[in-house]
Amino acid sequence: MIDLLKIQGMANHQDFAGVGVAVPDSLQIFRVSKLKEMGANAWRTAHNPPNPALLDATDRLGFLVWDENHLLDDSPPYEADLRSMLLRDRNHPSIIMWSLCNEVLCNGEGTDKARQVGTVLKGIIREYDTRPVTAAMNGGWGSGLSFVVDVQGINYNIGQYDSYHNSHSTQPMIGSETGSTVSDRGVYANDAKAAYVSAYDVNYPSWANTAEQAWPAIHSRAFMSGSFTWTGFDYKGEPTPYAWPNINSHFGVIDIAGFPKDNFYYYQVNFRNLTNQLHLFPHWNWNTGDKVDVWAYSNTASAELFVNGNTQGKKTMPSEGHVAWTVNYAPGSIECRGYASSGTQVVTQTISTTGSPVAIQLSLELGQNGLVADGQDVAMVRVALVDSKGTVVPTAGNLINFSVTGPGKLIGVGSGDPSNHQSDKATFRNAWKGLIRAIVQSEQQPGEIVFEASGTGFPTAKISIPSKANNSPPPLF
């Protein structure tokens, strides 16, 4: 018997906070690892061939890849681009599909012309490789490129799945672009003036769906091989539903600085299928008397919420959904208890009101084993503003300054704030909901790199990062 694997994918642009599109090779390890932590197993390169280091990372970490050609065009320059991509990438075992194009880049995806050009490009692919050919189509299903591709890609339009399958029952199908919830980390009310959207899974453009609509539509259909959510990470541009002062998107399940939003945990609960998972939100720093919507994602049978020890009721957990309560805020804590079908409590999570930020907490999310002194390797520093108990203060926005001594340099900073106009190349940053990302890169001399963070009212925080001679492959983490 063949075990079937559902593709639990994320589509991604190539940029990242602090570095733009000049992403250091080792940072790709962090990006793939973060999606794998969530339970994703596939990466769609949108909408162009990827950095080769990304494919190295997916090979090493066991991640599947949809490798995407940029434009459906058979003129000599574009044929040459496609051949270059195939020759460069074909020996990467992580690649499972070649994509001809995406949406408008398919140049009339449902037309006879698209069918003709697609046939030429697929022929070029077959000169080099036998893996399936697909395209991310936003219309024209059943015509044009549908006659060319091995796997029918459907962007959004979840209502098309059944009708297309009924008339093309032998053709494999995939949700080539799904979801597109817009949300911001740590924000729990839409704010059009400041251009922020809430982290609850409720906001999405007219063409799209929430995570709770998109994933069950894929998971419940055996004929759908999987999907690629738009997107794993936020990226510069496309600040839907707003415009200026936003400078990056809200589509990511993870913000542009690599910090998870609440939807990260929706996918984690449903992708990883671990026992007794629970994610409770929002934070518990409000004004007395505020009415607060409290959500929980879990794979337990039911969940019960307590506010300062007082029950707010037990609710049945819907499959691939969430439970919610609207409660009055009072300082203290909220606690959610998850129960098995037998009624036994199996998991709990508590969120407490924090104090004011009093310290800067530094940790490494990449580079824990040190860096290679090659002038390229990077460490991903997580900068958190915490209270006297060491808890991240979810409303903190203090300005923090950075410095690096030793054989390393600070190459970028970010916070995930889509309306922050501070330079990504500055040596300072305002925290966003208590967090900042700093990226430190090695130089070509070994030694001890010391990263320091300071701010008004905070003791200086330091973290040491050893940088080792370049005589062995870089560590995975």
Q: Which residues are catalytic?
A: 103, 177
Q: What are phi and psi of 85, to 5 degrees?
A: -60, -45
- Between CA 29 and CA 475 the distance in angstroms is 10
Q: Kindly state the tokens that stand for 408.
A: 């390393």
Q: Diameter of the chain by CA atoms?
A: 70
- Between CA 408 and CA 390 the distance in angstroms is 28
Q: Any bridge partners for residue 304, and if so which?
A: 314, 337
DSSP helix/strand/coil, 249: coil
Q: What is the side-by-side strand order in the sheet with 278-281?
A: 278-281, 291-298, 323-328
Q: What share of the chain is helix, strand, coil (3-state, %, to 5)?
A: 20, 35, 45
R_g over Cα of the chain: 23
CA atoms within 13 A on the CB side of 471: 4
- Between CA 161 and CA 163 the distance in angstroms is 6
CA 299 to chain centre: 21
- CA-CA-CA-CA torsion sign (149, 152, 155, 160): positive
- Between CA 115 and CA 146 the distance in angstroms is 8
- Between CA 139 and CA 386 the distance in angstroms is 49
DSSP helix/strand/coil, 268: helix
**Are 166 and 196 contacting, i.e. CB atoms less than 8 angstroms apart?**
no
**Are 411 and 19 contacting, i.e. CB atoms less than 8 angstroms apart?**
yes
- Between CA 320 and CA 340 the distance in angstroms is 16
Q: What are the residues whose beta carbons fall under 8 Å from the beta carbon of 123, sequence distance 6 or more? A: none
Instruction: Give the dihedral of Cα atoms 31, 255, 98, 78; nearest 10 deg.
Output: -110
Q: What are phi and psi of 164, to 5 degrees?
A: -70, -45
Parallel, antiparallel, or unpaired: how do β-strands 458-468 and 408-414 relate?
unpaired
Give which of 179, 189, 303 is closest to 249, Cα–Cα: 179
